[in-house]
Amino acid sequence: MPSDAKILIVDDHKDTLYALESALAPLGYLLGCVTSGDEALKQVLRGRVGLLLLDVRMPGVSGLDVVRYLRSLEQTQHIPVILLTGFGPDHELATAAFGLGVADLVLKPVDPWALRTKVRYLYDAHQRQLALQEQVRELRAEVKRRDEAEERAPGPVPGPALAHPDPLVAPPRGVCRASPTSGRT
Cβ partners under 8 Å of residue 103, min gap 6: 80, 81, 82, 118, 122
147-171 pLDDT, tens digit each: 888 888 766 555 555 666 677 766 6
77-127 pLDDT, tens digit each: 899 999 999 877 888 889 999 999 999 999 988 999 999 999 999 999 988
Cβ partners under 8 Å of residue 120, min gap 6: 27
Q: How many CB atoms lie within 10 A of CB 183?
A: 7
Closest CA to 80 of 90, 92, 67: 67
Contacts of 158-164 spanning 24+ positions with Cβ under 8 A: none
pLDDT at 182 exceeding the cut of 60: no
pLDDT of residue 157: 53
pLDDT of residue 86: 83
10-48 pLDDT, tens digit each: 999 999 999 999 999 999 999 999 999 999 999 999 988
Q: What is the C-alpha separation between 133 and 146, in angstroms, rounded?
A: 20
pLDDT of residue 89: 80
pTM of the model: 0.71
β-sheet bridge partners, residue 89? none
Q: What is the C-alpha separation between 47 and 137, in angstroms, rounded?
A: 19
pLDDT of residue 155: 61
